[in-house]
Structure 1
Amino acid sequence: MSLRVDEGEIVALLGNNGAGKTSTLSAISGLVRSSGGRIVFDGQDITRAKPPEIVGMGLVHVPEGRRIFSTLSVQENLQMGGYPVRDQAEIQRRIDHVYDLLPRLAERRDQEGGTLSGGEQQMLAIGRAIVAGPRLLMLDEPSMGLAPLVVAAVMRVIAQINASGTSVLLVEQNARAALRIAHRGYVVENGRCVLDAPAAELAGDERVVDAYLGGT
């Protein structure tokens, strides 16, 4: 597996279930140990770094399934994202930024996370990651289980985050949605990158169309 994300990019990681996409994100964020090779972030080898150290460097992972704290309020969930930050005023400034970006969360700031809709929970998971101050945001299947209109809204938010200067590595089963906002993409099969091209080229590649875009 060999891939890169350049500063300011959205890079999509596409592939079928079991191809190794989630494992790749978990290895980068230190949740699992890679058996070989090197992981480099901003010129620094982080292959053996611990997850809190990696987050502190600005590499933040939104896992598959959202994993919000269901009994905590929206505000409390966002505060949890600020655990690497000692300045409480800075944490609140970041939370206010999330509320500006995602006004639905502001409306529900006192509501328990578990009572939100699926789309709102995904927005909350992304918002919590923003509070951590990502330079590279890794998202694992953010569209999973969401209605098409909600998927479009999530993708717009990801594009907005990227436009503000945050690089994004996006694992996404919905290849069509991912390639609409990505700059480049990789196709992963059996733990190996088998295609690497600009997003527009992948969207027009017959192999990608047949395998991931429904043949249209």
Structure 2
Amino acid sequence: MLEIRDLDVHYGGVHALRGLSLTVAQGETVALLGNNGAGKTTTLSAVSGLLRPSGGAILFEGADITREHPHRITARGLVHVPEGRRVFSTLTVHENLQLGGYLVRDSAEIRRRIERVYELLPHLAQRRGQQGGTLSGGEQQMLAVGRALVTGPRLLLLDEPSMGLAPLVVASIMELVADINAGGTSVLLVEQNAAAALRIADRGYVIENGEGVLEGPAAGLREDPRVVQAYLGGV
């Protein structure tokens, strides 16, 4: 579904990604792990068109999207939920969700998608008239994901959805990601909480200094001593 081949990205004089390669198959959840500054967010930004690679290729469903504009990539069904939630604080929950349908011309389809989000996240349905900025951090994260679902993703790019959230809320977010994947949407998950990510992922990649250093089934990575020591607290 998604194939990244030997990807290079530069920020001015900084070589942020160095020949990175990874794949996401239809129906998979793939975790992308690494320390701060490893290149995880850069990878998602390059895939979604927010950054222009300096080398390599990105293919989505067989089409080369390496230099395609972000709105065209989104229209293909590759939808990015960036780090930091970024909900519209003065708009209501419902208005935020409506904005997720900006590329959808059929207003009835937008309404159907919003209702599906409310079914998946009944807590948001109860707050549909509440301003986004008054929600808790966990609720804002769910709203950001719900807005992306209204766009109609076939592949969802999630950047640090658990950042700054309490453990119980993290568990709810991960359950939501698992439910989205079970509904047929593939997921590329960037997550600092490696233990939580590997519990719901099918496969994973570890990157350091912009380079892929490990990959494999999630169950295998959970047992790999290098992953345990570096990302799972050494236990």
Superposition TM-score tier, normalisation by shorter sequence: over 0.9
Q: 1:111 aligns with which of 130, 148, 173?
A: 130
1:131 to 133, 150, 157: 150
For structure 1, the 5+ residue unaligned runs are none
User: Quick one: higher RCO (CA 8 Å, sep 6+), 1 or 2?
Assistant: 1
Q: Counterpart amino acid of 1:182? A: A
- Alignment-derived partner of residue 8 in structure 2: none
Residue of 88, 105, 108 corresponding to 1:69:
88
Tell me the equivalent position of 1:94.
113
Question: Paired residue for 1:152?
Answer: 171
SS across alignment from 1:39: strand
Q: Which has the higher strand share?
A: 2
- Residue 79 of structure 2 aligns to a residue whose secondary structure is strand
Which amino acid letter does the alignment assign opposite residue 135 of structure 2? L
Q: Say which SS state the counterpart of residue 198 (structure 2) adopts.
A: helix
State the 4+ residue runs in structure 1 displaced beyond 3 angstroms: none
Match of 2:15 in 1: none
Residue 173 (1) aligns with residue 192 (2): yes
One of 58, 63, 68 as aligned partner of 1:39: 58
* CA distance in 2 between partners of 1:21 and 1:139 (Å): 11
Question: Could you list the runs of 5+ residues in structure 2 that have no partner in the other structure?
Answer: 1-19
Post-superposition offset of 1:56: 0.3
**Partners of 1:7 and 1:209 in 2: CA distance:** 28
**Aligned residues: CA RMSD:** 0.3
- Cα distance in 1 for residues equivalent to 2:148 and 2:102: 11
Q: Deviations over 1:82-118 (max 9, x none)?
A: 0010000000100000000000000000000000000
Distance in 1 (CA, whole Å) between partners of 2:93 and 2:53 is 34
2:34 to 9, 15, 22: 15
1:200 aligns with 219
Of all paired residues, the percent bearing the same amino acid is 73
